[in-house]
Amino acid sequence: MIPLPITDPTWIFFIVLGIILIAPMILERLRVPAIVGMIAAGVLIGPHGFNILARDSSFELFGKVGLYYIMFLAALEMNLQDLWKIRYKALVFGLLSFIIPIALGFGANTLILGASVVAGVLMSAMYASHTLVSYPIILRYGLSRRESVNLAVGSTIVADTLTLLMLAVVGGSFKEAHSDFFLLWLVLKTIAIGATIVFLFPMLARLFFRSFNEGVIQYIFVLSLVFLGAGLMEFVGMEGILGAFLAGLALNKHIPATSPLMTHIEFVGNALFIPYFLIGVGMIVDVGALKSIEAVKIALVMIIVSTLGKWLAARVVRRVYHLHKTEGALLFGLTNARAAATLAIVIVGYEIHLPDGSRLLNEQVLNGTMLLILVSCLISSLVTERSARKLALDTEEAPARPDTVQPHMLIALSNPTTVEPLINMALLLRSTQKRTLITAVNIIRDDKPNAQERGLQLLERAAQIAASANVHVQTRSRWSVNIVSGLSHSMKEADANALMIGLHHKAHLFEKFFGRLATDLFRAVDKQIIVYRPLSSPNTIRHLQLFVPDNAEYEPGFAEWAAHIAQLAGQLSCRINVHAGKHTQRALKIFWAKQRYSLQATYNEYTDWDNFLPLAIQTRESHLAVFIIARPGTLSYQNYFARMPEQLERHFTARNLMIILPAQYRGTYGREDALPPA
C-alpha cells in the first residue's frame, strides 16, 4: 500500500506531468477548456480531495512562477501601439471593473453577511481584482491583438493596482509601526519601482541583446528580469504580479511575436509553469467545507456578487463603446477569474488577528474564497473559450481576397555570420495571416565543388533557427555556373516573389559598395529584392527610418514593400519615420489605412536627396535605415541613385541598413483598389 500523500519528488513530478498531458486530451473531446481540467484535477489530487499529493513547496514555487508567467505573457503579447490608442477606454474599463464590484461587494458583505466595515472593504477588494487565467486560450486562438483583449489586459493594470494598494493600506493599518503617511509613502515607493522597471529594464535588454544571441542565455536573462521586477514590488509592500506585468510591458518591444525567444518563453510557460499554477489553485479548494448553511451562504454571496460586478462592468463598456456582443462576452470572460490578488487578500485577512483574538477574515470566508477562485476560473474559462472560438471562426470565415496568392520569400545564404540575422529578419517580415513560405537556398558554383558540404551546414543551421520559432523553412542546394544565374533560376522554380540577400562586404578598397553579385542580381531578377546589413540584433531596433523616392507609389511592387515595412514595424512595435515627398506620403497613408495596419508613423518631407548627411544624423544605433530604390528606366528612378552607393558608404557605415528594390510586376499584397491611383 502506497502511503498518501506521496512525498517522493520523482512521483510527484510524474503525476503532475501526467495530468498536464492527459487532462487536455480528455477535456478536448468534451469541449471543456483545459484550464478547467487543471483546476479540477488539483481539487481531486489535493489534500481536500483524495489526498494523493500535498501542496508542498514545489507547488508554491512553480505556482508562483506560473502566476508571474501569466501576467508577464499578458503584457508581452500586447500590441502597445493598439493599447496606446485605446488607453482611455482601458482606463475607463479598469475603473468600472474596480468600482462596480467594490460597491456591490461592500453592500453585500455588510448588509447580507454582517461583516465589519474593514472586513467588508477587504472582501470587496477580492471581487474587484482579476487574474488573466484564461489568457492562454486567447493565445491558442491567436486573438491577442483584438481590441477587446487589449481592453481586458489594460484594465488589469488599473484594477489590480488599485486592489493591491487597498490590500497594502488595510494590511499596513494593523501593523504595530504605522506611519500617518503610510499610504502616500506606499504610492511613492510603488511609482519609483514601477518607473525603474519601465525605464531601466529596456536599457538592460538593449545592452544584453546586442552582446548575446544565444537563445538559452536570452531566455534566462528575460526570466531573471521578470523575477527581479516581482521581487522589487514585493520589497516595497506590493504583490509581485504587478512587477511581473510591468516587466512584460518594459520588454514588449524587445521580444517580437515571431522571434525564437518568444517561442521559447511561451513553450516553457504553457508546458509547465502555468499548468503547475492551475493545479496548485485547485489543491487549495476545500469542497467539504460547505457543510454548514452559513458557509454555503457566504460562498454563494461571494460568487454571485463578484460575478455580477464583472458582468455589469463588461456590459457597460460594451454599450458605451459599441462593441460586438461576442467581444463583450470576451471582456467578461477574461476579467472574471480570480486567483493571484484574491489569494493574497484572503491570506492577509486570515492572518490578521483582532484585539478580541478573532481573525479579520475567518475560516468560512477563507473556504468561500477558495470556491470563489474555482468557480470564477471555471466561468472565465468556459466563457472565454466559447467567445474566442466564435471570434476566431468569424475571422477565418471572412472571404479571402480573390487576387491574392501565398507569398514566398527566398533567402540566399553563403556567409555563416549572416545566416542567423537573415533568417530572423525573414521571420519578422513573414506574414502570419497569409502564411508566407520561406526557402533558404545555397548556390554552389560548378568550379567550386568543395563548397557543397559548407553550404549544407548553412542550410541546416537556417532550418534550426526557424524551427525554434515554430516555422518550417524549406532548404535547397543548387549547382550553377554562377551565383546570379542560380538565384534567378531558383526564384522561378520556387515561384518566389521576394529575394533576401546579405549586403556585400568589401574585400578591396576600390570595390563597389553593392558588389558585382548584387549589381548583377538587380538586372537579372524583376521580383522584389531585399538587401540587409545588420549591425545589431533586430529586437533592439526602436525606429524605422524609411526613405522613399518620388513616384514610388506608381511602381507595380509598391504594395509589397509597403506591406513588408508595416509588418516589420508591427512585429518590432516601433515607430516609422517616413522621409518622402507629399504625394508619396499620402499614398502610404492611404495604403496602410485601407489594409488596416496599426502603425505609429511620422511623415517628413525630404527633397535634398543629393546629401544624405542630415538623414544619417537622424539615424541612430537603435534605428534601421530602409531605402527604397529603383532600377534604371522605371517610374521612380532618380539621377541621384547613381551616387547613392557612395552616400550610403560614407554616412551609413555604422548603421543597420536595408535596401529594397521594388518588384516590376503586380505584387501579392493588397488589391488593386488598395493602391493609390496611378
pLDDT band per the 50, 70, 90 thresholds, residue 31: low
* pTM, to two decimals: 0.70
> Could you tell me what percent of the chain has a pLDDT over 90?
19
Mean pLDDT, the chain, as a whole number?
Answer: 82
Query: Mean pLDDT across the stretch 462-482?
Result: 87
pLDDT band per the 50, 70, 90 thresholds, residue 315: very high
- pLDDT tens digits along 41-86: 888 898 888 889 888 888 888 878 887 887 788 778 777 776 777 8
**What is the pLDDT at residue 539?**
80
CATH fit for domain 9-391, picks 3.40.718.10, 1.20.1530.20, 3.40.50.720, 3.30.365.10 = 1.20.1530.20
> Which burial class, exposed, middle or buried, applies to 178 when counting CB atoms under 10 A from its CB (0-12, 13-18, 19+)?
exposed
How far apart (Å, rounded) are the C-alpha atoms in residues 568 and 588?
A: 15
> Which burial class, exposed, middle or buried, applies to 30 when counting CB atoms under 10 A from its CB (0-12, 13-18, 19+)?
exposed
For domain 404-504, the CATH class is alpha beta
- pLDDT tens digits along 655-669: 889 999 998 865 444
SS (H, E, C) 559-610: HHHHHHHHHHHHHHCCEEEEEECHHHHHHHHHHHHHCCCCCCEEEEECCCCC
Contacts of 583 (CB under 8 A, 6+ apart): 550, 551, 553
Matching fold, domains 9-391 and 404-504: no
How far apart (Å, rounded) are the C-alpha atoms in residues 494 and 406?
A: 12
Which one has a higher pLDDT value, 658 or 539? 658
CA torsion sign for 137, 142, 145, 146 is negative
DSSP string of 204-224, one letter each residue: HHHHHHHH---HHHHHHHHHH
**Quick check: helix, strand or coil at residue 485?**
helix
Which one has a higher pLDDT value, 306 or 448? 306
Give the chain's radius of gyration (CA, Å): 28
Which one has a higher pLDDT value, 361 or 411? 411
Q: How many residues are listed for the chain in this entry?
A: 678
**What is the pLDDT at residue 106?**
92
Which one has a higher pLDDT value, 259 or 97? 97
pLDDT band per the 50, 70, 90 thresholds, residue 103: very high
Query: Structural domain boundaries of the chain?
Result: 9-391, 404-504, 535-665
pLDDT band per the 50, 70, 90 thresholds, residue 398: very low
Q: Residue 584 above 50 pLDDT?
A: yes
CB 659 within 8 A of CB 531: yes
Q: Which three cell numbers stand for residue 23?
A: 487532462
Of 100-109, 173-182, 238-247, the range with the lowest mean pLDDT is: 173-182
- pLDDT tens digits along 138-175: 877 878 778 888 888 888 878 877 887 787 777 666 65
**What is the pLDDT at residue 180?**
61
CATH fit for domain 535-665, picks 2.130.10.10, 3.40.640.10, 3.40.50.620, 3.40.630.10 = 3.40.50.620
How far apart (Å, rounded) are the C-alpha atoms in residues 600 and 453?
A: 45
Query: Mean pLDDT across the stretch 433-450?
Result: 81
pLDDT band per the 50, 70, 90 thresholds, residue 410: very high
**What is the pLDDT at residue 593?**
87
Query: Mean pLDDT across the stretch 256-260?
Result: 79
CB 95 within 8 A of CB 316: no
Distance of CA 387 to CAs 30, 33, 77, 96, 390, Å?
17, 12, 19, 22, 5
Q: Closest Cα to residue 503, out of 424, 568, 418, 427? A: 418
**What is the pLDDT at residue 594?**
87
CB 43 within 8 A of CB 49: yes
> Could you tell me what percent of the chain has a pLDDT over 70?
90
Q: Closest Cα to residue 150, out of 43, 59, 77, 230? A: 77
Q: Residue 675 above 50 pLDDT?
A: no
How far apart (Å, rounded) are the C-alpha atoms in residues 56 and 358?
A: 27
Contacts of 199 (CB under 8 A, 6+ apart): 250
**Quick check: helix, strand or coil at residue 121?**
helix
Q: Which three cell numbers stand for residue 614?
A: 542630415
Which one has a higher pLDDT value, 484 or 446? 484
**What is the pLDDT at residue 245?**
82
- pLDDT tens digits along 477-536: 888 888 888 888 888 888 888 999 988 655 443 345 566 677 778 888 888 999 998 888
